[in-house]
Structure 1
Amino acid sequence: MALALFGIAPATAGRIEIEGRPAAIRSPREAMALGLAYVSEDRRKLGLALSESIAANVTLPRIDSYANRWGWLDRRREMADAARFAAGMRIKAAGLSAPVGTLSGGNQQKVMLAKWLNTNPRILIVDEPTRGIDIGAKAEVHRILRELAGQGVAILVISSDLPEVLSLADRVLVMREGRLAGELPGATATEESVMRIALGAAETRGEAA
């Protein structure tokens, strides 16, 4: 679903609406133009250029904006933005020139978040945001997501980690076999109520826990 929402894979059914208006998304460029950003579950294959520096990764989605009219990159501005995001994300590294592939999984995940937040998104899609990272990094990622939500960014969290979903979500949408099976308010959703819907024991949208 995330790949279709961001225009990486074609949508075969359904429709996408943003603020009540139909949206046709056929490519990541079109998704970005609509204010979407996508943090992939596979940071090594789809999320990061591992051999490149932290600074290069953070500025990559909007690299054109750092070029002057002759096509030369404004490295000073590029580094300033990278430093600002690295500080905000509390990325631990020897410096902004460090290759992303040398960082821990948690710091790689923060770089990927910084990369997409640099596009100033209205809607942030995060797919398995804490898979493969340690407890401390997981808490940091959750902190970042809560701060973004508090700033008005709409966040779609796709996760198989139920405690994570329940700690972050205002609404819980349960998918089964590629379809929406049910919806629960985050304040009252429990692991049991989510699993009942996921396993087909409850078909009614909005069933109370």
Structure 2
Amino acid sequence: MFTGLVEEIGTLRRVQRRGEAMVLTIAAKKVLEDVKIGDSIAVNGVCLTVVSHDSGAFTADVMPETFRHTNLHELKPGDPVNLERAMQAGGRFGGHIVQGHVDGTATIVGRKPEANAVVFTIRPHNPALLRHMVPQGSVTLDGTSLTIVSADREAETFTVSIIPHTLKETVIRFKQPGDTMNVECDILGKYIDHLLRLREGERPAEPKPQRSAGGLTEALLREYGF
């Protein structure tokens, strides 16, 4: 598990590719301080396993499933990458719960300054991800824990506002419209959505109670088992 607080920006040193399988060699410093073979390190938000390392770099395998569902296959030697070690028990939880299991990729469609921040407009390649985008909720972009500002279902986009410190300390500062990012939606929202959908699929078809503008109703509570 990770927190979405990037520890350092590493540099991709080498890519060995065979079909949809890759081995990445990444130059780093901080994340190597206590690294062991088998440790997990998030690379642009993707949880990878360290298979070898030396004093200046580590290597990790990328399987076809990860190749197809993340932007790691777009990387080339010299590219910067966000790095974060798995969270230690008892560590400070400064971001939000991040698994390193990317839900999909997205394209940046807008970048504009707003006072001391920069607002990014993001369009997921899978519009279904937008149902997990809750204003003032959490989202992970390239491994960075961020707060959603707004979500527009019609435009199929959402926005995040990024402070100067985050821009300086992550690869997001290099990102421009047209670039892709890895997206991991908030785990709590994903699980609740999944369980509710399973519940609905198991129940016999019946008229759903109308939801009033007043919010919680007895019918709504009955619908969800209360």
Fold shared per TM-score above 0.5: no
Which has the higher Rg, Structure 1 or Structure 2?
2
Q: Looking at secondary structure, tell me which structure has more strand per residue.
A: 2
Identify which of structures 1 and 2 has the higher relative contact order when contacts are C-alpha pairs closer than 8 Å and 6+ apart: 2
Structure with more of its chain in helix, by fraction: 1
Normalization by structure 1: what TM-score? Answer: 0.29
